[in-house]
A = this chain, B = another copy of it.
Amino acid sequence: MDIAGMLTKVREKRPLVHHITNMVTASECANITLLAGGLPVMAHAPEETAEMVAHAGTLVLNIGTLTPAQVEAMLSAGKRANELGVPIVLDPVGAGATTLRSVSARRLLDELTISIIKGNAAETAILAGGAAEIKGVESLAVSGDIAALAAALARAKQTVVAVTGAQDIITDGHRLIEVSNGHPLMAAVVGTGCMSASIIGCFAAVTDNRLDAAVAALVVFNVAAELAAPQAAGPASFKERLFDELYRLEPAVVTARQKITERVIS
Contact = CB atoms under 8 A, between A and B. Distances in A.
A24 to B, nearest CB: 5
Interface stretch (A2-10, A44-52, A116-124, A153-161): A44-52
- Binding site secondary structure of chain A: mixed
Contact of A243 (B43, B99, B234, B241): B234
Contacts of A189: 31, 34
B40 A190 contact: yes
B240 A48 contact: no
B233 A48 contact: no
Contacts of A64: 42
A244 B248 contact: no
Contact of A94 (B26, B41, B237): B41
B66 A42 contact: no
A43 B18 CA distance: 22
B16 A135 contact: yes
A34 B234 CA distance: 12
A100 B66 CA distance: 22
A101 interface: yes
B39 A65 contact: no
Contacts of A137: 41
B97 A41 contact: yes
B188 A247 contact: yes
A44 B68 contact: no
Contacts of A135: 14, 16, 39, 55
A212 interface: no
A36 to B, nearest CB: 11
Contact of A48 (B14, B101, B232): B101
Top 10 A-B pairs ranked by shortest CB distance?
A234-B244, A41-B136, A236-B243, A48-B98, A48-B100, A30-B190, A236-B240, A45-B67, A24-B26, A51-B98
A65 B34 CA distance: 17
A23 interface: yes
A25 interface: yes
A235 interface: yes
Interface in A209-246: 232-237, 239-245
A93 to B, nearest CB: 10
